Chains A and B, each alone.
Chain A
Amino acid sequence: MESKLIEAIGITKAFSGAPVLRNVSFELLHGEVHALMGENGAGKSTLSKIITGIYQADEGQVFVEGKPVQFNNTREAIAGGVSIVTQEFSLLPDFSVSENIFLTDKRFYKKGFISDKTAMAAETYNLLKLFDMESFIDPYEKVINLSVAQMQVVEILKAVSTEAKAIILDEPTASLSNKEIQMLFNLVRQLKAEGVGFIIVSHKISEIYEIADRITVLRDGLLILNGVVTKELQQKDLIKAMVGREINDLYGVKGENNKHRFHKNEVVLEVQDLTDINHYVRDISFSVCKGEIAGFSGLVGAGRSELVRCIFGANKRAKGKVFLNGEEIKPDSIRACVEKKIGFVTEDRKNDGILQEISVLKNICLVDLAAGERILIDQKRDEKNCDQMINQLSIKVMDIDDPVKKLSGGNQQKLLLAKWLLLDPVVLIVDEPTRGVDIGAKADIYEIMRKLAEKGIAIIVVSSELPEVLGICDTIYVMREGQITAKLNVDEADEETIGYYSTIGKGV
């Protein structure tokens, strides 16, 4: 078992002269889960893309089972036994699960046509059964109807079906609930027992400790920790290796600074009997006070995002009312919410948050322009606002006229916060504040949110990360199947209680 499955030696890569990887070495053993960690831009994605032939290294050599290889694309890598599951899935949405898994499998084709769909589905069923997932995924289901977790499983099974010896998972748990993560990890463990090696690219420290045997950390393209055994590495040291500085209190001191600012008697936002048109959320009532950070926890699909979208008017509602400072807000109207100074940072940064091709300046000033009455653009005002926000949130920008896609995930997230802060919001809704954000920016974002709450802004946070919810919120609402099952004070909440109410508990 201790032979080397993949070995990369002295990998160097530069994009337009800027070095991304500098003499990095990496090894993966048979039956090992090896975590590749680092902040955004550390070079971990680049390294995994070099191993799978998406990029070519400038210098260095990759070996698979001792033989030097030079994959020119992922197809050659798959043939060589190395598969990658990226965040952007490479599945065909309108094809069924089994068709996707065996898309390139010659056994099921005759002269280029799919010959036997039943055999394909049967094979898929067997594969699913191998991992006790036959009830979780229907082989005939179209991929477009699957959840992210199911797609992830399909991607991995696809890799397994090509007899992959090594599978690279890029941020596999980014949008999975805890339960789904466990299922995924079980799959990984089973395959690992059969000798398959995994490289997991991730930011999530707690998960890495659960699943990974060894950890390699990159920072600024340099190898910082080379395959350290997970058990021998303290979390504190891991974070220090990733960030390059010590972060002691990621979430601030629990409960302490919260108490000073939270005005229990001043209700700002009140939601009454809210039900959305698709019934993803039903009869939800709650209220948020001035300076309170209210967190919504629960499994994926519990209706948390749908709830906040419904409050903001982005999803249509069937019934219910929303009051701001006692005044009812016009239903189903984003514009009414913006006028009343409610801000909403969406969950999916790429698809409904930023304007990728448009400049930083124009992105930051978009809400200000949309909320205002001015017909003409006030260049001076925009520049001043932009400058102020970049300084206030310490957004790292080379040039405010650069398109936003050039920024890192963390800075894009800060930019979205900045865009809404210019509105001078009374209520700020943040759906998944730190998804895909590196740990340094994460600490910054928590700090920003705490400061905003201190200023008296009521903040609603939706988060899938329990430590995050427990770390920054004053009140925690747990949701399950479209309803609130518990309202917990942060002092009385812990991971077990939240877990209980998000799965089986019937509270309130």
Chain B
Amino acid sequence: MEKENMTLYRKSAGKRFFKEHKTEFSMLIIFAVLFIILSFSSEYFFTPQNIKNVMSQISSNSMLAIGMTVVIITSGIDLSVGANLGLSGMIGCMVLMKTQNVLLGILVTLLISTFVGAVNGLLIGYGKMPAFIVTLGMMQICRSLDYVISNANTASKFPEAYSFLGKAKINGSFPVYILFIILMFSIFIWVLAKTRFGRFLYAIGSNEEAARLSGINVKLCTMFAYVVSGILCGFGAWIMTSRLMACDPTYGNGNEMDAIAATVIGGTSMSGGKGTLMGTAIGVLLVGFLRNALNILGVNPYWQGTAIGAVIIVAVLAEKLSQIRIKK
């Protein structure tokens, strides 16, 4: 009897998966088409070397984009991610340079980035301030402190062991950081889909007051979203500095925009309550490969912004149009 009812109200698991991830599938198709076109337009594009090249370029952005997605799902925004990456990376790297202690360097990076995220979260969750304003301010503060602390100098001369995450390869060919990115995506896909915290984030983004009146600790959950975003900035900083084995105060500058772009292209709604990290992963890849292709094809760098910007707008427009069609 119960079985019978179940099928009445629910589609099969496969159909459900397709329905829930319709946006991601359409993005995946667009990505695949773009990939094929690019492979034919340049023989250099689809080579292991170039793929690795792109992957290394998107490695830190993928961390920021995960955090950005988590925050945007709560209908917030975190503009401070790029500057947070810069500041936490810089402080961590300076400690690393002074002490030559790899673990301490990484720990400091993560602590600073988490702290910045927690301050954001406190002000937004408990102080009820607009996320846009708080993180805009935090972005300025972090970037400025980044320059003050480093005195605008590049930190370098790290112990060789620090390059493990950025440069080491499994079996001499598969880079460790790609594994790390996959791991982080998997963890947070799981968090968003299968944990109570993840479900609450969607609930808060969809209707904060309804979430509060259902007994959800909205303040705490909101704060945690920014803490997550902060931690991931630290991971982003770690990947970036260990790949380049240096840290410049300009690192991460403007990266929040790429993170937002990847999130939005991946189908996450800026008004909250809707979006997945699978979509964001595709968004990160799309932005990364598009940038790369424009370089390979020798497009004037000044034109690249126009191309990326157009993709963002078209992606959101396509999503809107498909919604309107469904409604009618």
Contacts and interface: CB of A to CB of B under 8 A. Distances in A.
A355 B194 contact: no
A344 B206 CA distance: 19
Contact of B213 (A334, A372, A398): A334
Interface stretch (B109-117, B214-222, B313-321): B214-222
B84 to A, nearest CB: 27
Given A346-B213, A355-B210, A399-B11, A377 B274 contact: no
B215 A371 contact: yes
A358 B215 contact: no
Contacts of A399: 9-11
- Interface range for B: 20 to 34
A387 B2 contact: yes
Given A335-B215, A401-B19, A357 B195 contact: no
Given A362-B202, A384-B2, 17 more contacts: A15-B328, A16-B328, A334-B215, A346-B210, A351-B210, A352-B207, A352-B213, A355-B210, A355-B273, A357-B273, A358-B273, A366-B203, A375-B197, A377-B195, A387-B9, A399-B11, A400-B9
Given A370-B214, A377-B195, A383-B6, A358 B328 contact: no
Instruction: In the A-B complex, list the 9 residue pairs whose CB atoms are closest, starting with the nearest.
Output: A338-B215, A352-B209, A355-B206, A370-B215, A400-B9, A370-B216, A357-B273, A355-B207, A366-B214
B195 A354 contact: no
Contacts of B9: 386-387, 390, 397-400
A1 interface: no
Interface in B271-317: 273-274
A354 B207 contact: yes
Contacts of A354: 207, 210
A401 B195 contact: no
Contacts of A362: 199, 202-203
A353 B212 CA distance: 10
B5 A352 contact: no
A371 B212 CA distance: 12
A344 B326 CA distance: 34
A369 B221 CA distance: 14
Most buried by B among A354, A366, A384, A400: A366
Interface in A340-390: 344, 346, 351-358, 362, 366-367, 369-372, 374-377, 383-384, 386-387, 390
A339 B209 CA distance: 18
Contacts of A355: 202-203, 206-207, 210-211, 273
A314 interface: yes
A366 B203 CA distance: 8
Contacts of B199: 362, 366, 369, 377
B196 A374 contact: yes
Contacts of B217: 335
Nearest to B204: A355
Nearest to B194: A377
Contact of A376 (B194, B202, B209, B216): B194
Contacts of A346: 210, 213
B16 interface: yes
B212 A334 contact: yes
Contacts of A384: 2
Interface residues of A, number: 42
Contacts of A234: none
A351 B203 CA distance: 13
Contacts of B326: 16
A371 B217 CA distance: 10
Contacts of A357: 206, 269, 273-274
17 contacts: A16-B328, A314-B213, A334-B212, A352-B207, A355-B203, A357-B269, A357-B274, A366-B214, A367-B214, A376-B196, A377-B194, A377-B195, A383-B6, A386-B9, A387-B6, A400-B9, A401-B11
A387 B5 contact: yes
A346 B203 CA distance: 16
B200 interface: yes
Interface in B1-53: 2, 5-6, 9-11, 16, 19-20
B11 A344 contact: no
A57 to B, nearest CB: 14
Nearest to B274: A357
A230 B1 CA distance: 47
Given A314-B213, A369-B199, A401 B207 contact: no
Given A15-B328, A401-B16, A352 B210 contact: yes
B215 A376 contact: no
A419 interface: yes
A356 B206 contact: yes
Contacts of A206: none
Nearest to A334: B215
Given A399-B9, A400-B9, A358 B202 contact: yes
Contacts of A372: 196
A362 B214 CA distance: 12
B326 to A, nearest CB: 8
A414 to B, nearest CB: 14
Interface centre among B20, B197, B206, B269 (most CB of A within 10 A): B206
A372 B9 CA distance: 25
Nearest to A419: B214
B160 to A, nearest CB: 40
B166 to A, nearest CB: 33
A333 to B, nearest CB: 10
Nearest to B212: A334
A391 interface: yes
Interface in A226-262: none
Contacts of B10: 383, 399-401
Interface string B248-288: 00000000000000000000010001100000000000000
A362 B215 CA distance: 15
Contact of A369 (B2, B196, B207, B273): B196
Contact of B215 (A367, A374, A386): A367
A375 B196 contact: yes
A344 B2 contact: no
Contacts of A15: 327-328
A386 B196 CA distance: 17
A413 to B, nearest CB: 14
Interface string A25-61: 0000000000000000000000000000000000000
Nearest to A349: B210
B6 A356 contact: no
A358 B273 CA distance: 7
A344 B203 contact: no
A351 B210 CA distance: 7
Nearest to A335: B215
Interface string B188-202: 000000111101101
A355 B206 CA distance: 6
Nearest to A16: B328
A398 B16 CA distance: 13
Contacts of A397: 9
A397 B2 CA distance: 16
Contacts of B212: 314, 334
A334 B16 CA distance: 34
A208 to B, nearest CB: 31
